[in-house]
Amino acid sequence: MDFIIPLLILAIPLFNFLLLGIGGVKMSHRLAGTIGCIGMGTVLVLSYYTAFNYFFSGNEAFIIDGVRKAATIFNVTWLEFTKNLVIKLGFLLDPISAMMLIVIPTISFMVHVYSLGYMKDEKGFQRYYAFLSLFSFSMLGLVVATNIFQMYIFWELVGASSYLLIGFFYTLPSAVSASKKAFIVTRFADLGFLIGILILSFYTQTFNFADLTNNPQNVLLSTGGATFLGGSVLTWALVLIFTGGMGKSAMMPLHIWLPDAMEGPTPVSALIHAATMVVAGVYLVARMFPLYLMEEFALQFITVVGAITALYAAIVACTQIDIKRVLAFSTISQIAFMMVSLGVARPEHHEALGYMASMFHLFTHAMFKALLFLGAGALIHAVHSNNYTAMGGLRKYMPITHWTFLIGCLAIAGIPPFSGFFSKDEILSACYSQSMFWGVWMSIVAGMTAFYMFRLYFLIFWWDTPDYSHHHHKPHDPKFAMSFPLLFLATVSVFAGFIPFGEFVTWNGHEYTIHLNTVIAVTSVVIALLGIGAAYVMYSKKNEWPARLAGLVPWLWTAAHHRFYWDEIYLFITHKIIFNGICRPIAWFDRHIIDGTMDGFAYITNKASVAIKGFQSGKVQMYVWWYLIGALLLGAITAVCWM
């Protein structure tokens, strides 16, 4: 395959970022928006072409005897430190990166179009589009990375663009602190990632994914059985790399940044904090999956972290008031589903069904969660509030938003024939094939998913209609720029489940035919319907049930409402322990010892100059006197020494 098109996929967003970032000040909003959308549209076409080529061309480079291969389109040396320590930048096409080449530009383009309406007349519109382009560039660079270091570089870049976009409304203190929180938490996690990379590459002498994943046995051998604190270094490396994924994908206990990241503009939440960037952690594990298979412990760690996070986020999502936060916690929960699915994937069970299921869910989730977020944006646009308490009965006012939102909810709840049903069903099958325990656990979480999503749906669109007369105008459906992405994504969410995903994405490239496990499918649908039914009973009309139920276990409700006090725990640890125990002594040392020394030098210099400044009297002839005396003295000293 030619390298021009893949190169353009990366170059166009980067160019757009520079163009809009530097020249945006001089542009009108309309021009900047058009440039952003046309650029992203071009990328969309090129990526579709590339992905289509990869999956369907039958080219020898991509598929041999029905087995899909990873193909490196180009790989140039970027930095060469030593013979082994070479950092390359390249473009890798394999099933998952080709799949991401469909997901990212699709969502990104929809968000670009949507933002034309949503961010209209917003100050800094051009800057917004510049950052969107930067993010698209970084995310695309991340998924096509040929080596783990390139991935790390783009990983940090998506973190930076996420930071910039969360803090887009930089005059709001809450947005500023949310962006700082997101950056610091993910940065902290990335430290683990970096250490993991260094350990791994120290033993294997390579960064290349191809070298690492094609022969995982060699990687295991190259560590030579070295151990650290009772674990083999490979386990440590993989767990540390997963830590980076935990940070980006908001797994417990590093999830705290994601709910706050909702301070950013809603389209940004849809693009970055629901559909693309937050699945980077899942993508990372999938990318290194053959290596993870070598270490049972690492996989079990992923499973446990994912399962706990899924349950935790689902409980918390049932009690939040801010609709974007409900969606944020549901995102955390759904990403945890993908993680669990990877954690339970084993080649012995249905050819590592979990791997395929996880990627499938990543795909469908990206579509319907972006839809839900964009729908939430339309609602917020209409009622000027993030809280469902300001909404209710909106189905009559906003039919398009209502129907698309309903489709999104049905998809995430796992009701056939919507896309979420198929992917979630595969995940549950994978869990049951690994162990009954995780299967039941995830089924319960899936039921809760249906419950909290429909709680949200009913509270927004049914419940009690508040008095909208104090608004300038009644809530209404958004204009075409905003409703088109909703309709498009809703269509995708309806039909995406019928894609024979197993033919395209499997862990080893062999084709896998999805067959629904009837028992699991029926139970999960029944559970989902139970969740929806409970939500219907409690929230379809205004009644006392929710309050009464919350009053039944007030401590649980309060704790969940406060997100089980994770933020408070972090605040306690940082403010009380780290700040007082470490930062204050260091600050004292800096202020008194380091600054004191520097101030001392300055003080001495200052005093000395004041003392001798009288010499510069302005009387020229005095200067000559002093000069003469000095010259004579020097002459005398020289003469004396000479003698």
Partner 1 sequence: MGTIIWYLIPALVMFCCGVYGFMTRRNMIAMLISLELMLNAVDINFVVFNRYLYPGQLDGMMFTLFAIAIAAAETALAIAIIINIYRSAKNIDVRDVTRMKF
Q: Which residues bind partner 1 (CB under 8 A)?
A: 613-614, 616-621, 624-625, 628
Least Å distance, CB 619 to partner 1, is 5
Whole-angstrom distance, CA of residue 328 vs CA of residue 322: 10
Least Å distance, CB 637 to partner 1, is 20
Q: Please, what is the Cα angle at 12 between 9 and 17, to 5 degrees?
A: 130
Whole-angstrom distance, CA of residue 350 vs CA of residue 511: 12
Least Å distance, CB 635 to partner 1, is 14
From residue 78, alpha-carbon distances to 12, 88, 149, 320, 521 in Å are: 20, 5, 11, 47, 49
* Region for 325 from its dihedrals, namely left if φ exceeds 0, alpha if ψ lies in -120 to 50, beta otherwise: alpha
With H, G, I as helix, E, B as strand and everything else as coil, classify residue 19.
helix
- With respect to partner 1, which residue has the nearer C-beta, 67 or 628? 628
Token reading at 99: 């799949």
- With respect to partner 1, which residue has the nearer C-beta, 472 or 619? 619
Least Å distance, CB 613 to partner 1, is 4
Least Å distance, CB 641 to partner 1, is 24
Amino acid at 49: Y
Least Å distance, CB 616 to partner 1, is 5
Whole-angstrom distance, CA of residue 26 vs CA of residue 23: 6
- With respect to partner 1, which residue has the nearer C-beta, 184 or 631? 631
- With respect to partner 1, which residue has the nearer C-beta, 82 or 621? 621
Least Å distance, CB 608 to partner 1, is 14
- With respect to partner 1, which residue has the nearer C-beta, 49 or 625? 625
Q: Residue 87 phi/psi, 5° resolution?
A: -105, 125
Least Å distance, CB 625 to partner 1, is 7
Whole-angstrom distance, CA of residue 321 vs CA of residue 355: 34
- With respect to partner 1, which residue has the nearer C-beta, 470 or 619? 619
- With respect to partner 1, which residue has the nearer C-beta, 469 or 616? 616
Least Å distance, CB 31 to partner 1, is 57
Whole-angstrom distance, CA of residue 54 vs CA of residue 93: 8
Whole-angstrom distance, CA of residue 295 vs CA of residue 242: 13
Helix H segments across 205-254? 209-214, 216-222, 233-248
Classify strands 71-80 and 86-93 as parallel, antiparallel or unpaired: antiparallel
Whole-angstrom distance, CA of residue 193 vs CA of residue 204: 16
Q: Which of 127, 131, 137 is nearest to 104 (CA)?
A: 137
- With respect to partner 1, which residue has the nearer C-beta, 171 or 616? 616
Classify strands 227-228 and 231-232 as parallel, antiparallel or unpaired: antiparallel
Can you list the positions of beta strands (E) in 486-560? none
Helix axes 436-461, 399-413, angle to 10 degrees: 170
Q: Which of 342, 195, 335 is nearest to 277 (CA)?
A: 335
- With respect to partner 1, which residue has the nearer C-beta, 217 or 616? 616
Token reading at 429: 């099958």
How close are the terminal C-alpha atoms of the chain, in Å?
88
Amino acid at 24: G
DSSP label of 352: T
- With respect to partner 1, which residue has the nearer C-beta, 226 or 628? 628
Classify strands 67-68 and 63-64 as parallel, antiparallel or unpaired: antiparallel
Can you list the positions of beta strands (E) in 81-234? 86-93, 227-228, 231-232
Whole-angstrom distance, CA of residue 155 vs CA of residue 178: 19
Whole-angstrom distance, CA of residue 270 vs CA of residue 368: 10
- With respect to partner 1, which residue has the nearer C-beta, 552 or 610? 610
- With respect to partner 1, which residue has the nearer C-beta, 553 or 634? 634
- With respect to partner 1, which residue has the nearer C-beta, 556 or 631? 631
Least Å distance, CB 609 to partner 1, is 9
Least Å distance, CB 627 to partner 1, is 10
- With respect to partner 1, which residue has the nearer C-beta, 385 or 606? 606
Contact status, residue 108 vs residue 277, Cβ threshold 8 Å: no
- With respect to partner 1, which residue has the nearer C-beta, 603 or 627? 627
Q: Which of 330, 212, 188, 207 is nearest to 262 (CA)?
A: 330
Least Å distance, CB 621 to partner 1, is 5
- With respect to partner 1, which residue has the nearer C-beta, 537 or 629? 629
Least Å distance, CB 182 to partner 1, is 54
Residue located via tokens 């909404």: 391
Whole-angstrom distance, CA of residue 75 vs CA of residue 27: 36
Whole-angstrom distance, CA of residue 71 vs CA of residue 172: 46
Least Å distance, CB 618 to partner 1, is 3
Amino acid at 260: D
Least Å distance, CB 607 to partner 1, is 15
Contact status, residue 9 vs residue 47, Cβ threshold 8 Å: yes
Contact status, residue 260 vs residue 182, Cβ threshold 8 Å: yes
